[in-house]
Amino acid sequence: MTDTLPDRRILVTALGITQILAWGSTFYLLAVLAPTIARDTGWGYDWVIAGASVGLLVAGIVSPRVGRYISSHGGRPVLAGGALLLAAGLAGVGLAPNYPLYLVAWAIVGAGMGAGLYDAAFSTLGNIYGSNARGAITSVTLFGGFASTVCWPLSAWLTQRFGWREACLVYAAIQLVVSLPILLLALPRGRRLDASQPKPAAVRLRPGEHAVFAILAAVVTIAATILAIVGTHLLPLLQARGVELAVAVGLGAIIGPAQVGARVVEMLAGHRYHPVWTMIASAVLVAVAAVMLYAGFPSLALAIALYGAGNGIGTVARGSLPLALFGADRYAVLMGRLALPVLIAMAVSPYLGGVAFERGGADWALGLLAGLALLNVILVGTLKLSLARKAD
């Protein structure tokens, strides 16, 4: 157990940089590499994308165990191990001579994602700073919001200059020579919370908390479903609505700055209110954006900016709301449990969105998004009412 708190600025910067590299080399990787991989190997485009789905499924499966381990031993060995797994998996993707080994490599990447993406980082911060972790969580998401901004151009340049296999090997090397040393040097050894913290195996929801946890799990899972569908299909959906590809790419680029801008506002003002209001604002903004896109609202830029803002603060709420609701002593374990449905939803959702798009065109796919977003508004409203009754 560590006795002193590490410098927040150093720790947030370290986690922020490694989150950019982790997200950019995993979740955002195939957005650039997939067409080239498909052309080079002869594998179907959907087969190539399935690699990321395998990775996200594995990430979801390992996440509960990751949360328990962070609760017991702190985040340093988990996040460092995640960097090693990402390096091994990305090297495997780059060297895969056939499709089965390509999927095996993505499974290894998935284990690294479960140990190295937001949920593990948030759990680590909660383990170190306890109930005061909200500001640090928000700050880390500010860095993470630039993952696609940084790594999409880097991935495109590496692929064009050297090839997709070499791009994967470069990302593997980055995990070893950049992320791993940063994590080992910046993160404290052991866990911060005192010995009275319950052991992970003993963490239980108390009477009256089961319904709150179930609703929260549904809210963050639906939000992840929307994120995965938009992240995979936004450009084709815009093109189906008559938008030229170059314009669609420009519109898609609005999401990153909108996410970061909304997170800055949350960072500056979030301490003044309960994080459930951040979750409510996120759900409402995403629902308004989804309905605007479905209804053919003339200002696509405004709709996409609202979506980016809602998704941006939704990530913050996903990290800070469980901390406020269930306390620091159980935070890491419960975050691991919440990550399971979230990552599985992210693995399955691109396929479901593709089916809707293929069978019913943009109207079906955007209608699915709007329906899910409106359902989430109802659920987050139910969550607020449940918390109010509990307080009474």
One-character DSSP codes across 23-50:
HHTTTTTHHHHHHHHHHHH---HHHHHH
Identify the pLDDT of residue 200: 56
- Average pLDDT score over residue span 79-86: 97
Identify the pLDDT of residue 195: 45
State the pLDDT confidence band at 114, using cuts at 50, 70 and 90. Answer: very high
Task: Give the sign of the dihedral formed by CA 157, CA 161, CA 163, CA 166.
Answer: negative
Q: Which of 77-86, 87-96, 170-179, 252-261 has the lowest mean pLDDT?
A: 252-261
As a whole number of angstroms, the distance between CA 345 and CA 338 comes to 11
Identify the pLDDT of residue 3: 54
Q: Delineate the domains of the chain, giving CATH numbers in brackets.
A: 8-198 (1.20.1250.20), 203-391 (1.20.1250.20)
The tens digit of pLDDT for each residue in 335-384 reads 888 888 988 898 888 878 878 887 888 899 899 999 999 999 999 999 99
As a whole number of angstroms, the distance between CA 25 and CA 55 comes to 12
Mean pLDDT of the chain: 88
Distance of alpha carbon 160 from the chain centroid = 27
Identify the pLDDT of residue 201: 52
Q: Say which DSSP state 132 is in.
A: G
Taking the whole predicted model, whether its pTM rises above 0.75 is answered as: yes
Identify the pLDDT of residue 232: 74
User: What are the backbone angles phi and psi of residue 323, rounded to the nearest 5°?
Assistant: -65, -45
Distance set, CA 156 to CA 148, 191, 244 (Å): 11, 39, 20
Q: Is 330 helix (H, G, I), strand (E, B) or coil?
A: helix
Q: Maximum Cα–Cα distance for the chain, whole Å?
A: 62
As a whole number of angstroms, the distance between CA 335 and CA 326 comes to 10
- Average pLDDT score over residue span 23-52: 87
State the pLDDT confidence band at 239, using cuts at 50, 70 and 90. Answer: confident
